[in-house]
Amino acid sequence: MTLTPMERMLLLNVLPSEGDFGTLKIVRELRESLSFSEEEHETLKVQRGWKCRLCQAEVLGATPIPCPNDGEDMAPTGQMVWDDQEGMEKEFALGAKAKELIVTSLKTLNDDKKLSNEHFSLYEKFIEG
């Protein structure tokens, strides 16, 4: 299965965080394979969002930096951005159980009406494809 960087990030966020030992082992392996390598971080110029706890200023950067306004340490916001480069898709070999976990997670999001536009291509690949 070929996945874009965005699809990889979304999958990392929809995988279950609880389950039996076998499920958790498969999820751990999936998380490791879907994560970005050092080279991919450099190529994509991955940056994280940071927010000052005092003045609420927000900046993007690869690593935490002091707040430009007051020098305080900044906390991660959870936001990630990267250069949207063509050809950064990556092929993944997914086992039957891994696919089942992904399908179940996406169907649950759909049933709960919590899918977003970002999930569209994943839903097509795993559910409709």
Is the pLDDT confidence value at 85 over 90?
no
Same domain, 61 and 115: no
Question: 24-69, pLDDT tens digit by residue?
Answer: 999 999 999 999 888 888 888 888 899 998 899 888 888 878 888 8
C-alpha 51/C-alpha 37 separation (Å) is: 25
C-alpha 3/C-alpha 129 separation (Å) is: 13
Same domain, 54 and 109: no
Same domain, 36 and 93: yes
What values do phi and psi take at 19, rounded to 5?
Answer: 160, -170
Same domain, 38 and 98: yes
Same domain, 93 and 77: no
Question: 103-124, pLDDT tens digit by residue?
Answer: 999 999 999 999 999 999 999 9
C-alpha 42/C-alpha 11 separation (Å) is: 21
Cβ count within 10 A of residue 67: 19
pLDDT confidence of 84, banded at 50, 70, 90? Answer: confident
Give me the domain span that covers residue 108. Answer: 2-43+89-128
Same domain, 15 and 72: no
pLDDT of residue 83: 78
C-alpha 62/C-alpha 45 separation (Å) is: 8
Residue 17 structure tokens: 């965080």
